Structure 1
Amino acid sequence: MQLGASGNDSLETKFVMLGLTDIPALQPILFVIFLLAYIATISGNFSILAAILIEPKLHTPMYFFLGNLSILDVGCITVTVPAMLQQFLSNDRSIPYRSCLSQLFFFHLLAGADCFLLTVMAYDRYLAICQPLTYSTRMSWGIQKASVGMSCVFSFTNALTHTVALSTLKFCGSNVINSFYCDLPQLFQLSCSSIQLNEQLLFVASAFMGVAPLVLITLSYAHVVAAVLRIRSAEGRKKAFSTCSSHLTVVSIFYGTGLFSYMRLGSVEASDKEKSIGVFNTVISPMLNPLIYSLRNPDVKGALKRLLIGK
């Protein structure tokens, strides 16, 4: 098989996904499980979004960013799960070369925007707790829109760079991807071209979109913790920590699974483990996010309750 730069002259223009399992008896069960997970994720995130839109109390920068995060989570799971559900129903597990590149592009676009948005949310908490007198000025409506817009621009640039660089590679020999969606580590293993440039681009992107945001988040919360510990009232400390704990939980899940996925490039023997991490990163994390924010936030819980009972 030859794909990539000379794909138009090739007879074979498809990859084959191994998916999560090749045991026929498990496929209907997995189909039901992931269908329910997909429905739960869509319902949960849109419920959060609806609560933010209709509840005036939630018209603040923190919940504006949370609403955008919910949209990104819906996008992330939609890029991967519907295609996986189709694989469970069909004996044809092939995916066209261009569809594979499209899936990779949109996944990195949405996941990258997640990275920057989580960083902006940490900065928002830092300003709200450590710089309350200047909060309204430094987190104005214009700055909120600009922050989300720049997150999308940076993420778009990163996703397009990886997709274009990958499209220059040639794939020969095996066209089997031991995964349920197209991503860089699995495609690098199939390339018969040099992937040195691609790995360098991924290294730079990991530093810019992974390490740097994580450092900024850590610094923001280091200042937040120091400020909260200076609060004399136990009730005040509890309230301040409650506004940050949900976000910290989401950050830990997102970066924990993401770093594991991209720090094992070239490790063929770890591919089955990477499937589990991939499921956690693309399915479970977007499904848990609305649950985490609603369970640990009384304002969101109250808005959701009023939304559900129609008041």
Structure 2
Amino acid sequence: MKHYRGIRKKLTAYIDQFLATGDSVENIRDIWYKFKGEIEYLKNMPDDKWDIYVNRLIGEYLYELFLDGDVTIYSRLNVITKGLSNDTHTYNTPIVLFSEKPTRSTDMLSEALLCGIYSSTGQIPSFESVNIAQYLNRTAKHNRAYLIAITDFDPAGESIFGSLAQKVENDLKLINPDIEFTSIPILFGSGYEDIVSHYPTYTLSGNKRNKLNQAWIDKGQTLGVELNVVENKAELLEAAILKSVAPEVAEELSRHRWKQQKEEEMLASDKRYTQLHEQLKQRIADIREEVESMETVFDAKWSTPIDVDGVKDMTKEK
């Protein structure tokens, strides 16, 4: 664990005090609010910078505790992720689809596959990667889990997904080292020439101060492709899933969808089911009508206000 000094050391002491209470929160900022008034004397910068500083420190410190072996810290705190959706226990497929930019394609596939989806338009907080790792650990079948990405084909897209994939892999090893984790970046899977021949491109900046861009240019890759111009994103994702996911997992997904579809088809065409369903609706209507027709003897109308003090006197022990 890092050794904090000065203001940072004092702030982490307050975080430790809060963690010792065992209380839960919904987000990192809630932790700050627990002791915000008590740390005003430490503030040595404008309010907006102080806000960013404190919350970033809390995030870093929690992740340090996690990496130091407290792997249940986020679940105990009950921190809610904004990025990861379809993460409830009913979604039990060991796949998280990552999209650098919001797209309906990943939403639709997420629903069809009953898997998680993570969307991000910028830097990814540490606790988000932990939430993804916890989801994969909870849903992993045959000890296999997958993070499948659709991103811009450019240095930033590669870097964002590479960073997330590495974090998730490291976090998953701490939570459950037995799980075999696979990360799959879709737009990087077919090769540079194939990608730029299919989609509209743009020229990368040759600014040498931009290390990510320069590294690509040095490898001879001078063009980029924005995810926004890829029309059939769902087809890309689906093809990657079928090619990359373990056969036994893909078979299980296919069987699940087939059974669900077959059940719906059989119910829709089953006369007995339709008859029983209509009888049930009619029975509910009959019961409701019978109840409505019953005479009642209690009319809850008060002619005068309730004597609160008198009621208290009546209920005192003798």
Establish whether TM, by shorter chain, passes 0.5: no
TM range (shorter): under 0.3
Q: Structure 2-normalised TM-score?
A: 0.22
Structure (1/2) with the larger helix percentage: 1
* Structure whose CA Rg is larger: 2
Q: Structure 1-normalised TM-score?
A: 0.23
Structure (1/2) with the larger strand percentage: 2
Q: Which has the higher contact order (CA 8 A, sep 6+)?
A: 1
